[in-house]
Structure 1
Amino acid sequence: MKFTPGRVRPLPRLPGRALQQKARAALKQGEVIAYSTESCYGLGCNPLDARAIRKILAIKVRPNHKGLIVIAADVSQIRHLIRPLTAAQYAELARYWPGPYTFLLPASRRVPPALRGKHDKIAVRVTAHGEAAALCRTLGTALVSTSANRAGQQSLKTARACREAFSRRVLTLPGRIGKRRKPSTIIDLETGRVLR
C-alpha cells in the first residue's frame, strides 16, 4: 500500500550547504547533532548507530532501558526499522502523520537495543515540523529525536542554549522550534493505548 503523507508546514530555514555536509559527516562518524523540532531542540543521530545512541544517553544521563523516539520525513525512512505492517495499519498511520503523534511499532531485528530499550517496539513519528522533516530529507535518514537536556531538566529551546550546554560534544544546527508546547502523543498502534 502506498502511504500518502499529509501536509508538512514549511519552515524553510535550513542550515547552509557547508553545515549540512558537516552534519552528514558527523552522523557517519557516529556523532550527535542538535536540531529544532516541534516543541524544543532535539538531540539526534543515526538510529542504527548504537555507539552514537549511547553518546546521547550519556549526554542526557538517561537510563538505557527507556528507549528513544525516531523521527522521519516520511514512512520510507522508517520501513527498515519496523517489522512489516498491514495495509490497514498503514492506513491508520496515514490519519495521523505527519503530525505530533508518535507510534509504538514492532521493531525490526536491525534496531539496536540501545534505541528500543527494554521494549520489543520502537517509537517513531513522521514529523510535521518543516525544518526537522527537511533535515531528515537532506541527510537521507530518519533521526533519533530526544529532547536536548539532561534527564529531569528543562528542554532547551534555542541553538545558543544547546551550544552553551553541550559545547563541542554536539554539532548544533541553527533552527527555530515549532509552536507546540507539549511533547508528542504516544500511541501503541497494536493496542490503541495512549501512553502519553
Structure 2
Amino acid sequence: MSWSDAQLEKMVQHLREGDVVAAPAEGVYGLCADPFNHDALQSLLAIKDRNPGKGFVVLVEKPGHLSLLTETLAKYHWEAIDKYWPGPVTLLLPARADVPPLLTGGGDKIAVRMPSAPHVLGYLKAWGGPLVSTSANLSGEKPAQSPAELPDDSGYVLESPVKLDGSVSRILDVESGHWVR
C-alpha cells in the first residue's frame, strides 16, 4: 500500500501552512514540519514538551538538499555520507550559519538523515526539500508506532503503509567520530 496523490498533496498543504504532520519514519512515527518555519518548529517543541536546546533531525531525499542546511562539507563528511546513506544513521554535520537555531539547538551542527525506506522517500519527494522529523512522543517517552499512540495534537496523520518496528536512528558526530546515540 502506498499513498494516493491526494493524501500526499494534503500533507504538503498542511506543511506549507505551517502545520505539524504525523508521518511514519523507518521504525516509528515522526512529527514533521517545515525546517524553515519558526512557528512550525515552536509547535513541535510544544507538542513534545521538548527542550529547545536539543535541536531536531532533518530528513533529506537526496544529498543535493544538504546545501540548504550545511556549510561546505569536507572529504571525510562525504565519506560518512557515502558509507551510511541512505539508511537509519543520522549524521551531525556543520550547519550553515543561517539555519534556524531551533534546528541545531543553538549549536553549530545539524542532525541530518537520508532514509532508505521507500515510503519515507515518497513523502519527502512530494514535499520537495528537507523536512524535520522528530519521534512522535512526549520528550523522554516511548515513540508512537501506530496512529492510536500519537500525541493528541499531532495534526494531519499520514498512516503508515508498513508495520513499524519501533527502531530509532543512530546518530554519528562525523567531526569527532563519536556515536551520540
TM-score normalised to structure 2 length: 0.92
How many residues are aligned here?
181
> What is the CA–CA distance in structure 2 between the aligned matches of 1:56 and 1:66, rounded to whole Å?
12
Are the aligned partners of 1:14 and 1:135 in contact in 2 as well (CA < 8 Å)?
A: no
User: In the TM superposition, what are the counterparts of 1:57-76 in structure 2 within 5 Å?
Assistant: 57-76=45-64
Are the aligned partners of 1:40 and 1:177 in contact in 2 as well (CA < 8 Å)?
A: no
Give the drift of 1:176: 3.8
Task: Point out where structure 1 has 5 or more consecutive residues left out of the alignment.
Answer: 1-12
Are the aligned partners of 2:2 and 2:161 in contact in 1 as well (CA < 8 Å)?
A: no
Alpha-carbon RMSD: 1.7
Distance 1:182 1:175, change over 3 A: closer
1:118 alignment partner, one of 106, 130, 139: 106
1:98-131 deviations in Å (ceiling 9; x for gaps)? 0111110011123111111131100001101211
Code of the residue aligned with 1:161 in structure 2: it is E
User: In the TM superposition, what are the counterparts of 1:114-153 in structure 2 within 5 Å?
Assistant: 114-153=102-141
Q: Which runs of 4+ in 1 moved over 3 A?
A: 176-182
> What is the CA–CA distance in structure 2 between the aligned matches of 1:155 and 1:176, rounded to whole Å?
18
2:30 alignment partner, one of 36, 42, 45: 42
> 1:182 aligned to 2:158?
no
Give the drift of 1:64: 0.6
Task: Point out where structure 2 has 5 or more consecutive residues left out of the alignment.
Answer: none
> 1:171 aligned to 2:159?
no
Query: What percent of counterpart residues are identical?
Result: 33
Q: Secondary structure at the match of 2:179?
A: coil
1:147-175 deviations in Å (ceiling 9; x for gaps)? 1011122211113433xx325x5111021
1:56-75 deviations in Å (ceiling 9; x for gaps)? 01000011111110111211
Code of the residue aligned with 1:120 in structure 2: it is D
- Equivalent in the alignment of 2:11: 23
- Equivalent in the alignment of 1:158: 146
